[in-house]
Amino acid sequence: MFEREIRLNGLMNRLLTGMLADMEEAQLLAPISDVGNPPAWILGHLAVCNDYALRMLGGPRLAPAEWHKRFGRGMSPKDDPSPLPSKKELVEKLAEGREHLAAALPKADPERMNQPHNVELFKDSPIQTQADILAHLLTTHFAGHVGQLSVWRRTHGKPPLV
């Protein structure tokens, strides 16, 4: 189960890795715009989303508990002015989550995955099942945030990767 989503997530992770290769630690703290989040915050958010997906599959939480409060949906770096995690921490936590997801997703119970989700945000949307939520987290949600980082790169004078 989720073979296609795993491949698409792998593609987006490869693109993300390329984007981060020439980003220095200090650059991760520069917001995308006056109203946008810095790359470090986006990476923390993606790590927390990996945890959310893992929990849906019965797996463990990998990111620190404070990350879940800090990088969750609707939160902002303005909500917590303390220093953001380092690039190394963020990249390692993302990689750890990706590895755990790649191992857990093929073992997902199809019956459970076809059950309705309980995410209020998607209540009246085409996303109706647990599997839909997981597919969204692995593909469209992840790609949207990679797109934000792509915009960041261009506005900060970095060349395109594709």
Residues 6+ apart with CB under 8 A from 74: none
Q: State which residues of the chain have pLDDT below 70.
A: none
pTM: 0.95
- Largest Cα span, the chain: 48
- Tell whether the torsion through CA atoms of 58, 63, 68 and 74 is positive or negative: negative
Mind listing the pLDDT tens digit for each residue in 125-156?
Answer: 999 999 999 999 999 999 999 999 999 999 99
